[in-house]
Amino acid sequence: MRSPVPIFDCHGHLGVHPDFPAWKHSPEEMLQVMDLLNIEILAITSTRACYNDCPRGNAEVAEVLRKYPQRFRGYITVNPRPPGEALGEFARWSHFHRPPLIKLHPDCHQCPVNGDHYRPVWDFANQTHAVVLVHTWDSDPNCGPLLLGPIAREFSQARIIVGHSGVTWRGYEQSLAVAAEAPNTFLDITGSQSHRTILERAVARLGAHRVLFGSDMPFLEAAMLLGRVLSARISDEDKEKIFRANFESLLEEG
């Protein structure tokens, strides 16, 4: 079983994680799985940056982009603390992609995504028309999807990917509510919970053009997301948009 369409995957990682073993996580092993499932492009964020050290993590992403420029795209992952570091990272890694791809993990960094610490990041994203992938979780005080509605309206030139779409059923409901009001937001379907019918509901409410394929590789199993899309009761045309066209367009538009 593989995707009939070469996939543009909006949510990948590089590295290991603290709380469970990382299997087959080297870039070379990831490429084998990407070929197996027909994932052409994977946009990666450093797991080290999410958990611990953004400058070192982004440097690791730079090395993978240098080695495999045809298969990976790179998010610049930033922590709003210490102040000033994020803007420095944007300058240092400006060659990753244009428009910039930015990853925020307000849960790991324990900083509310709508707080003052993040304002310079959102200003930068707005000015550069960046694509900003934000980790979200149902009702979380730092990264609940509902926090993104006012941000999306204020920084309307940024394109915001609602990472994991809040994960839970209620998190999806919150993400759908935000996305219905903010056209510069997009739902990323990666996540460990494969709720039946939720993809169909998202497509019906927002249109397939607002839904992105994300795998979370090598954190989560990409085949889970592949099966979720392939088994959904939506049209083949909509599946093709989700697998490829939507994220491809975001990468191209500035």
* Residue number, 94 or 231, with CB nearest to another protein: 231
* Residue number, 159 or 244, with CB nearest to another protein: 244
* Residue number, 30 or 113, with CB nearest to another protein: 30
Which of 56, 153, 170, 196: binder of another protein (CB under 8 A)?
Answer: 196
Q: Look at phi and psi of residue 233 and say left if phi exceeds 0, alpha if psi is from -120 to 50, else beta.
A: beta
In angstroms, the CA 76 to CA 99 distance is 11
Told to check if 10 binds another protein by CB under 8 A, we report: no
CB of 104 to another protein, least distance (A): 22
CB of 127 to another protein, least distance (A): 35
Which of 127, 157, 231, 249: binder of another protein (CB under 8 A)?
Answer: 231
Taken in order 123, 107, 74, 60, is the CA torsion positive or negative? positive
The secondary structure of residue 74, as a DSSP letter, is E
Told to check if 92 binds another protein by CB under 8 A, we report: no
In angstroms, the CA 108 to CA 88 distance is 20
In angstroms, the CA 98 to CA 178 distance is 26
CA distances to 9, 194, 199, 220 from 235, rounded to whole Å, are 19, 19, 12, 26
* Residue number, 122 or 172, with CB nearest to another protein: 172
| SS3 category, 191 | coil
Which residue ranges make up the site for another protein (CB under 8 A)?
Answer: 1-2, 4-5, 19-25, 29, 33, 36-37, 192-197, 216-228, 230-233, 236, 239-240
